[in-house]
Amino acid sequence: MADVAINKASTKGSPAPLSVAAGIISSRAPATANTAKPITRMRAGVNAFCQPFSCQACFFGMKSPQYFRNRFEYNGTNALLQAMICKLLTLQTWAYVYYNGGWVKIMRKLRRMLTTCCILICLLTFTSISHVQAAHDEKKPTGLTAKGAVLYDRQSGQFLFEQHPDEQLYPASITKVLTAILALEKGDWNAKVKTSKLAREQEGNRIYLEYDEEQTLGNLLYGLMLNSGNDAAVAIAEHIGGSVEQFAVMMNEKAKEIGATHTHFVTPSGLHDDDHYTTARDMALISSYAMNNETFRKIVATETLPWKGQVWESVLVNLNQMLFEYEGATGIKTGFTDQAQQTITVSAKRGDRELIAVVMGVENRPKIREEATLLLDYGFDQFVTKKVAGKGDTLQAFDMNGTPVHAVLAADIYRTVPQESSTKFQAVAHINVPQAPFAKGDRVGTVDYFQDGERIITADLLSDSDVAALPSTEAALVTEDKFLLLSALIAVLLVVPKRLGKLKKTSRTL
C-alpha cells in the first residue's frame, strides 16, 4: 500500500494547529521601530523566491511544518527538503529570540541563508520533476495512426495515454460490447429468442440464423461476441427492447449512466449509420463497465465454441486475435466497416493490474494489433498502480450520543504513477455528522486525497456503527438547556445596549 499521511480536518474545515515554531514567530515578532526594517527586508527576500511555489508568503505565513512537507514532497528529495524547511523554521525562531540583542550582522547572514535555501529548493524540485517527466515522455508511444486511442487503468480509473480521446468516431462492431452487457442485465440467460425476418436479413458477419429459428439468449451472446453475428445482435435487441429502435434508446440511456457522454448508438450491431458514433474514451468506460460482469468476462475470454444452428453447424472462433497473441489478454471485441476502418477494445491483466486499450480508425488488422500492443506494453512497463487506502480503513473517530463512531472509507482507493516515481499521498478527512439516529453505512463525511499538493480524488466516509437518538428525557433536557441559553442571550442583547446608552449619557454629563 502507498504511503499516506492523514490530516484530520474539523467539521468546519479549519486548518491544522500551528507548530510551536510558527507560534513563536507570530507572537514574539519585535515591534520596535529599529527592528522593523531588517525583518521586512528578510520577509521580502523569502517571499520573492517562494512565491512561484504557491506557498502563500511561505515561511513567515501562518503555516505548520506539515504544510511545507506536503508541498515539497517530490521524487526522492523529500527528506532533504523537509530538513531544510524545519531548519528554516528553527532559524526564524532563533532569529526573533535573539534579534533584540542587536545582532544585525547575524540577521543579514540569516537572510542570505534563507535566500540560498529557497534557491536550492527551487532547483531540486524542478530538476527532480523534469527528470522523471522527461524519462517518462521518452518512452511514450509515438507515431500511432489511430484516429482515436486511449489506455485505461481499471483499478485507478486513470487514462495513461490519450490520442484524440474525445473525437467522435464510428465504432463498427465494438458497439456489441454495450449490446451484450445490456442483454445480460435485462434478459434471462436461458430464455428462448425467436429470429425475426429483420434479423435473418442482416448483412456482414452472421451466425446464419433462419427465420423463426429459436436459440437461447446465452447462445446468441456467444454468437454475438465470438463471431460478431449481426443477426444475433438484432435478435437480441428485439427480444430485450421489443424493437431495434427501442433497444437503441436503452443503449443510449445505459451509455450515459456509465459516463459515456459523447456516445450515440442507433444499431445494436454497429453496422454503419451516420448518427451512430462514440469516442475512444467512452468505449474504454463502456468496456471497463462490461468487464465487471463475470458472465461477460467468461464470454469474451472464450477462444472457441461449438455452434449448432438450424442450418449452420460450425465452431465459433473468437475474432479477437489479441486473445491468442498477447500475454495476459482477457478480452474483449474487434470491429470493422468501410467507414469506421479497424477498431478494437482489448483488455489484459498482469498480477492485480488490468488495462484496457481502445484503438479506432486504423487501416488494417495487423496495424491495429501492433498499436494496441504498444499501448498495453507501455502501461505495464512504465506504470505501477498503488493501493492508496483500503475499504473500511478508519480515517477519523468521534463520539455521538455516547456511541463511539469510526468514519471508514467506503471503497478502495488506487492511484497509477510512473515506475520511477516516489510520490506520496496525503488524506484530509472532513466530518459532517448527520443528526441522530443514523445507521451503520450512512455517510458521515468525505476524505480528499492529495498527490504532490494536488487533489486527485474525493471519497465518502461511512459510519461503522448504528447511532440511536437521545432518549426523550435527555432530549428534553438538551432542548431546555438550549432554550435557557437562547433566553439568556436575548436578555444580554436587550440589556447591554441600554446600559451602554446610560454610560454614554453619564460620561457626557461628567
Domain presence at residue 346: yes
pLDDT digits (tens, 9 = 90+) for 255-285: 999 999 999 999 999 999 999 999 999 999 9
Q: How high is the pLDDT of residue 138?
A: 63
Q: How high is the pLDDT of residue 340?
A: 97
Residue 132 pLDDT > 90, yes or no? no
Q: How high is the pLDDT of residue 276?
A: 98
**Most distant CA atoms of the chain, gap in Å:** 117
Structural domain ending residue among the three candidates 326, 351, 382: 382
**Domain boundaries, position 400:** 390-463
Q: How high is the pLDDT of residue 479?
A: 59
> What Å distances lie between residue 123 and 43, 81, 378, CA to CA?
21, 11, 30
pLDDT band at 126 (very low <50, low <70, confident <90, very high): low
Stretch among 23-27, 248-252, 383-387, 419-423 having the lowest mean pLDDT: 23-27
Domain presence at residue 477: no
Residues 187 and 98 in one domain: no
Domain presence at residue 486: no
Q: How high is the pLDDT of residue 427?
A: 92
Residues 185 and 326 in one domain: yes
Q: How high is the pLDDT of residue 13?
A: 39
Q: How high is the pLDDT of residue 400?
A: 86
Closest by Cα among 165, 171, 160 to 377: 160
Residues 35 and 181 in one domain: no
Domain presence at residue 133: yes
CATH number assigned to the domain comprising residue 327: 3.40.710.10
Residues 198 and 314 in one domain: yes
State the average pLDDT for the chain: 80
Domain presence at residue 454: yes
Residues 377 and 444 in one domain: no
Provide the annotated active-site residues. Answer: 173, 176, 228
Q: How high is the pLDDT of residue 434?
A: 86
Higher pLDDT pick, 334 / 124: 334
pLDDT digits (tens, 9 = 90+) for 64-103: 444 444 444 333 344 444 545 554 544 444 444 444 455 4
Please list the helix, strand and coil fractions of the chain in percent, rounded to the nearest 5, in that order: 45, 25, 30
Rg over alpha carbons for the chain, rounded to the nearest Å, is: 32
Residue 25 pLDDT > 60, yes or no? no
Q: What percent of the chain has pLDDT over 90?
A: 58
Q: How high is the pLDDT of residue 46?
A: 42
Find out whether 192 and 212 touch, Cβ atoms under 8 Å: no
Domain presence at residue 468: no
pLDDT band at 49 (very low <50, low <70, confident <90, very high): very low
DSSP three-state, residue 161: strand
Residue 496 pLDDT > 80, yes or no? no
What is the rounded CA–CA span in Å between residue 43 and residue 59?
A: 9
Domain presence at residue 112: yes
Residue 220 pLDDT > 70, yes or no? yes
Q: How high is the pLDDT of residue 493?
A: 73
Structural domain ending residue among the three candidates 326, 347, 382: 382
Structural domain ending residue among the three candidates 138, 163, 193: 138
> Is 482 marked as a binding-site residue?
no
Higher pLDDT pick, 462 / 477: 462
Residues 89 and 235 in one domain: no
pLDDT band at 124 (very low <50, low <70, confident <90, very high): low
Closest by Cα among 176, 153, 170, 149 to 319: 176
pLDDT band at 59 (very low <50, low <70, confident <90, very high): very low
Domain presence at residue 487: no
Residues 257 and 308 in one domain: yes
What average pLDDT score do residues 179-205 get? 97
Chain centroid to CA 255: how far? 19
Residues 172 and 315 in one domain: yes
Higher pLDDT pick, 403 / 107: 403
CATH number assigned to the domain comprising residue 417: 2.60.410.10
pLDDT band at 107 (very low <50, low <70, confident <90, very high): low
What average pLDDT score do residues 291-317 get? 97
Q: How high is the pLDDT of residue 31?
A: 38
pLDDT band at 136 (very low <50, low <70, confident <90, very high): low
pLDDT digits (tens, 9 = 90+) for 391-446: 999 988 988 888 899 999 999 999 999 988 778 889 999 999 888 898 999 999 99
Residues 193 and 96 in one domain: no
Residues 27 and 125 in one domain: yes
Burial 106-140 (b: 16+ CB within 10 A, else e): ebeebbeebeebbeebeebbeebeeebeeebeeee
Residues 366 and 433 in one domain: no
What is the rounded CA–CA span in Å between residue 265 and residue 152?
A: 22
pLDDT band at 139 (very low <50, low <70, confident <90, very high): confident
Number of domains in the chain: 3
Residues 94 and 199 in one domain: no
Neighbours of 302 (CB within 10 A): 16
Whether this prediction's pTM lies above 0.85 is answered by no
